């Protein structure tokens, strides 16, 4: 497939966005106040202070939402993934949010009610992937001489000794059943460490990870950037591995929205998708990375020094234990190869559901295919891409077989075989 938008054309289009928004304000009802325009002038989307929220921030800062008829979009910082859940349940009509930058499994955990107050399901949809890769598993500096890396096994005896002495072994992730929880569990289990028995998994909001490691509240954590890089830059710990080393080109955050909002506002939903797709293309252009880091580093967005963002964004990884590598293949991708990082592959949803079944967050007899069909709206992504003139051939339900660093293979057509191949699990 050949990308439709050249960088020159895209930058010209983006540069015109502010002018288009200003022109809109001169027309009663706005330039898109026609029968074909969005049903509303905006929505409220939440985000956590993580680098992978960049497409939403850039779409706002570059006027792309306004360009597509949504001049009143609100992109609102959330304190934690728990706060995101609670505000999603409220909806903007009640002071909450309509959707936002969320951990991919949250779509399924909300929709089934598994993490909602009173177990009440909140119908949700996965509209698009926001990024691939560039999360990390970091370990306390106290274990820097243990040889811990992609192989977690050197920590097995260390943790066992602590447990035998009656001590807790706190290992942090950001939300039960979320991506960081699953990456941490996968990494530990692959090294023979049972995450349900051998450690004490705790929940810590992403922006609080470094501070908690600094005061000795955890042995290790899994979180998105820029927090692993900040940990290294402050000399508090080291990165054992990036998640792209666990699973190359793995999906991470998504743009998830309340299903009732999407159903009521299909044109506005498509407009949001078009704006964010354009932002993703801009973010992936090498010449825009420094500017992107500068924009999202600002106090109103992330309040993080640019050096804590830029290195790993480009695949320049200082692991903090004497190891430094330039790995463009591990860089964060927002658009990917012709949109492969942005398209919401249903087969990837199936893996996250399967892993949540592996660890007992979702029942083993859950109909995963039905849940994916209920929550994945790849049709809306395809419509938005087509309206932008982008090629849509080659996209379907499945990205194919997925292979992990320990040799395990996931066939989305046969999740049971994958589960059977795993020796450590906690299914219910």
SS3 6: coil
Cβ atoms 276, 56 nearer than 8 A: yes
Q: What does pTM read for this prediction?
A: 0.92
pLDDT at 391 > cutoff 70: yes
Which structure tokens are listed for 363?
Answer: 């029942």
- Residue whose structure tokens are 């001169």: 26
Each residue of 246-280: pLDDT tens digit?
Answer: 999 999 999 999 999 999 999 999 999 999 999 99
Give the number of other Cβ atoms within 10 Å of residue 124's Cβ.
26
**Residue 214, CB-side half-sphere exposure with 13 Å CA sphere:** 13
Name residues whose C-beta falls within 8 Å of residue 340's C-beta, 6 or more positions apart in sequence: 249, 399
How confident is residue 147, by pLDDT bands cut at 50, 70 and 90? very high
- Residue whose structure tokens are 């728990």: 82
- Tell me, what's the pLDDT at 414? 98
Each residue of 36-70: pLDDT tens digit?
Answer: 799 999 999 999 999 999 999 999 999 999 999 99
Give the chain's mean pLDDT.
Answer: 92
Cβ atoms 44, 91 nearer than 8 A: no
Q: What is the mean pLDDT of residues 274-293?
A: 98
Q: What is the mean pLDDT of residues 26-40?
A: 54
- Tell me, what's the pLDDT at 428? 81
Where are the alpha helices (H) located in 91-173, listed in sequence order?
106-111, 156-164
Q: What is the mean pLDDT of residues 361-374?
A: 97
- Tell me, what's the pLDDT at 9? 40
Spatial distance between the Cα atoms of 289 and 297, rounded to a whole number of angstroms: 12
Cβ atoms 352, 108 nearer than 8 A: yes
Q: Does 281 or 2 have the greater pLDDT score? A: 281
What domains can you pick out in the chain, each with its CATH number? 44-132+251-421 (3.40.190.10), 135-246 (3.40.190.10)
Percent of the chain with pLDDT over 70: 92
Each residue of 188-244: pLDDT tens digit?
Answer: 999 999 999 999 999 999 999 999 999 999 999 999 999 999 999 999 999 999 999
SS3 255: strand
pLDDT at 175 > cutoff 70: yes
Give the number of other Cβ atoms within 10 Å of residue 1's Cβ.
13
Residue 33: DSSP 8-state: -
Q: DSSP readout, 346-399? A: HHHHHHHHHHHHHTTSS-TT--HHHHHHHHB-HHHHHHHHHHTT---TT--S--
Which structure tokens are listed for 272?
Answer: 């949001």
E strand spans, 131-261? 135-140, 170-173, 200-203, 220-224, 237-242, 253-258
């Amino acid at each position: 497939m050949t990308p439709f938008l050249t960088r020159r054309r895209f930058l010209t289009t983006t540069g015109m966005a502010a002018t288009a928004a200003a022109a809109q304000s001169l027309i009663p009802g706005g330039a898109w106040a026609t029968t074909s325009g969005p049903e509303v002038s905006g929505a409220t989307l939440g985000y956590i202070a993580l680098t992978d929220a960049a497409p939403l921030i850039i779409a706002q800062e570059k006027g792309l939402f306004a360009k597509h008829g949504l001049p009143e979009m609100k992109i609102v910082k959330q304190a934690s993934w728990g706060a995101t859940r609670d505000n999603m349940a409220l909806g903007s009509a009640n002071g909450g949010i309509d959707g936002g930058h969320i951990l991919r499994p949250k779509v399924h955990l909300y929709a089934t009610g598994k993490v909602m107050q009173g177990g009440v399901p909140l119908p949700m949809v996965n509209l698009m992937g926001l990024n691939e890769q560039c999360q990390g598993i970091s370990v306390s500096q106290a274990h820097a001489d243990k040889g811990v890396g992609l192989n977690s096994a050197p920590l097995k005896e260390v943790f066992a000794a602590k447990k035998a002495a009656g001590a807790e072994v706190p290992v942090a992730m950001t939300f039960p059943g979320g991506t960081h929880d699953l990456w941490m569990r996968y990494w530990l289990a692959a090294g023979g460490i049972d995450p349900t028995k051998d450690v004490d998994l705790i929940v810590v909001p992403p922006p609080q990870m470094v501070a908690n490691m600094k005061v000795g509240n955890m042995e290790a954590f899994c979180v998105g950037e820029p927090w692993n890089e900040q940990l290294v830059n402050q000399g508090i710990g080291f990165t054992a591995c990036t998640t792209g080393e666990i699973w190359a080109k793995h999906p991470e955050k998504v743009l998830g929205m309340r299903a009732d909002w999407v159903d009521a506002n299909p044109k506005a939903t498509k407009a949001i998708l078009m704006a964010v797709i354009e932002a993703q293309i801009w973010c992936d252009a090498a010449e825009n990375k420094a500017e992107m880091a500068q924009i999202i580093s600002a106090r109103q967005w992330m309040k993080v020094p640019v050096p804590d963002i830029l290195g790993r964004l480009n695949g320049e990884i200082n692991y903090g234990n004497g190891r430094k590598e330039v790995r463009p293949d591990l860089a964060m991708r927002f658009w990917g190869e012709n949109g492969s990082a942005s398209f919401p592959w249903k087969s990837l949803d199936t893996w996250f559901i399967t892993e949540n079944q592996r660890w007992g967050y979702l029942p083993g007899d859950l109909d995963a295919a039905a849940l994916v069909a209920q929550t994945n709206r790849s049709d809306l992504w395809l419509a938005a891409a087509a309206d932008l003139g982008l090629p849509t051939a080659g996209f379907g339900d499945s990205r194919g077989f997925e292979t992990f660093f320990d040799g395990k293979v996931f066939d989305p057509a046969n999740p049971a075989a994958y589960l059977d191949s795993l020796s450590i699990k906690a299914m219910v």
